[in-house]
Structure 1
C-alpha cells in the first residue's frame, strides 16, 4: 500500500470512527531470564555463605571492651543471646559460667524473687583444684545489707550438683557467693530455677551497648537480650561495647 492510499484510508476511518485509532507497534516476545540461585529468597531471611563462618564469644564488662578491630574484610553479626527462659510458672537464669581463682558473688545483679515461692539451684563443676564453698545470700530490704542464709555446698571434685531451697531465704532479693576454703581454681556454671510465682520476673539487666572507644551505657547503641545487629564498619573503625554487669556477646564473621 502506497503512502497516499494509506493516508486516505486513515482519514476515512477517522471520520467514520469517533474513537481515535492508535497504531499498536509490533513487539518481540520477552527474552527469558533466570535468577542466580544465590539471589532467590523464598519469603525468609537468607544469608548466602561463600566461606566458613567464624564465631567468637567475647566477654563484655563494665568498662569498654573491644569487639572488632580493623581491617574489616567481612560483614559482622553481633548477637546478645538470651540467658533467661521464662514460662508462666518458672524462670531459669544462668548466674555464672566461667573460671575463677578467687571469691565472688552475684550481689551486683541479684535475683528479684518477690514473685516466686521456691528456688532450685544447679551447679556444674568442670574442673577444680582446692576446696570451694557456696553460700546463699538474702537482702535486707530496709538496710540493703546482704546476709548469709546458709552454706549449702562444699565442693572438691568435678560433677553436677543440685540443691533445693524451697522458700527458705526467698524474700525480696536473692544472691549467691563462692569462696575457696583452700586455695585453687574452679571452672563452673551456676543456674537458678525460680518456681511457683505466676508470671514473676527477674531483675537482671544484660543489655550491651555498642559504640566507640569511649562508649557508655548512656551513649551506646543498646543491644538487648536475644537481639542481634548486622554491621559493616568503615575500614579504620573500632567497635567497642560496655554493659551494666559483666556478660557476653557472640560475634559472627560472615
Structure 2
C-alpha cells in the first residue's frame, strides 16, 4: 500500500467536443483555470487515433516550459458519450469505433502518462457542484444542460453519480430532450413562456424523483434564465451555471485528481 498521497494542486483538463477540443492547466486548490485555453478543431472523421493525437498535442503545449504539473500527473479528459470504468459506451458525435473502446488505455498509451476519462456532462456538473453555482450545497444537486439535447449530472454531497442520462427520461411518451432541449424550442419556434411550460413539466418530474436541494441550468440558454425562470413554479431553487466554457475542463481535472488519490491509497 502506498503511503504518500500526491499533493500537486495543478492538473491538466481537456474537454472533447463535437467541433473542438480545448484544454488548460487547472489549479484545484484555488478552483481556477490558469492561463489561456488551448483550442484545436476536433478531427473529421473523429476516429480514436486522430482524437488521441489532438489530445496529445494539447497536453504537450500545456506542459511545455512549465514545472507546475508533475511529469506523471494524470490528465483528465471529457468524452461526449457514456463512459463506464474507462470504456466509452456510446459515440453520438464521434466515430463509431469509440463504442466499447478502452478510451482510458488509448489516451494513456498515446500520452505516456495516466489519463482519466469522464463523460462531458458529468465533468461540467461536477465542476458546477464543487466550485460553481452549487458550491457549498449539501445533499442532491442536479446540473441540467439545455442545448442540442439535454445533458445531466447528479451530485450528492459533492460526489458524482455518473452517466445519469436524464435527457432520455420519458415525459408524456417522449424523451425529455425531444421536447425540452434548447434546440426543440428553436425548432418549434416557441416563445420563452411556451418553452417554460415544457421545462416546468420536465423539472417537476426531476423534482419528484430526486427531491434535489438545487437545480443548476447549463448550456447557452443559461445566460437567458430571466426569460423563463420567472415562469417556473418549483419547490427547488433553480439557478444558472456560472463556469460556462471552463466547466468541463475543471471537472476533468478534478476527476483526474480523484483518480490519482484513489491509486495512491490502493
The question of a shared fold, defined as TM-score above 0.5 by the shorter chain, is answered with no
TM-score normalised per structure 1: 0.26
TM-score normalised per structure 2: 0.25
Q: Which structure carries more strand by proportion?
A: 1
Q: Which has the larger radius of gyration?
A: 1
Which has the higher relative contact order, 1 or 2, with Cα contacts under 8 A spaced 6 or more apart?
1
Q: Which structure carries more helix by proportion?
A: 2
